[in-house]
Each structure stands twice: as structure tokens, then as C-alpha cells.
Structure 1
Amino acid sequence: MPERTTIPRAEALSGWRRSSHSNSDGGSCVEVVDAHPAGVPVRDSKVPDGPALVFAAPGWTAFVTAVRSGALGG
């Protein structure tokens, strides 16, 4: 499987959940679908009818781990 693919109409998927770092003010957020057979679909919460990127699970896990540890700076 490539490192990422796209789903053109992401709203067709069910089970989206918002990042735990999101707030109720509608700021910049991502949503993901857990346990999807193609990998980890990720979309912009402000554009639910737009496309989603689908990342291979190991790559997504490495990214989330790096963000949580502060390894990506910021």
C-alpha cells in the first residue's frame, strides 16, 4: 500500500471523530476514522464533504507519536 491515498468524497465514510486537541470554537482541526480497512482516513473538519487522505497505519502512528513527544517542534 502506498504511504497515502485519497478518498474523493470523505463524507461517505462513517465514524469520523475529531482530534482530542480540538475545541468548540471551530479552529483548525482534523478528523480521523478508526479501524478503517484501507488505513487511517484523515480530513479537515471544516470541509467534511472534501477529500480525505488515507495514511498507512504505521506511518500515522509514527506521526502521532512524534507530535505527542514534541519531536516535530512547534
Structure 2
Amino acid sequence: MNIDWAALGQVFGVSLVATVGLVGVFTLGIVGSSARKADGTGAPALARTGAYACFALCAAAVAFGIYLIAA
């Protein structure tokens, strides 16, 4: 039995980058949704919109992963 170490390393690298990137985008979404205006009320519209975009990107990445698994 031979192990293709180059392919294994490539899968590991892509998985690591994708995981760190997805967690980073989700974190940006959390930070954007928890931002407050100077008077202490809800999140500014731009921060809220950015947070929704980050969450949508995370949902798209998860959906693409499920698609890859199911296909």
C-alpha cells in the first residue's frame, strides 16, 4: 500500500485554509452584527449588511461542501 503524500498534504493544506477562512468570515459576521451605534442602540446599517453578507458567504460555503459530498 502506497500513500500519495503530496496529495495528502494538498488536501490538508486546502482544508486548513478553508477552515481558517470560513471561521474568520463567520467571526467578521459576529463582530458586524454586534456593533453598536455611538448612542448604544442597534447596529449601523453598513455593519449589519456586512454581517449578513458574511453569514450568507458561510451558508454558501457549507451548501457547496454538502453539494460536493452528495455529488
- Give the TM-score band, short-chain normalised: 0.3 to 0.5
Higher relative contact order (CA 8 A, sep 6+): 1
**So what's the TM-score if we normalise by structure 1?**
0.32
**So what's the TM-score if we normalise by structure 2?**
0.33
Greater fraction of residues in helix: 2
**Quick check: which has more Rg, 1 or 2?**
2
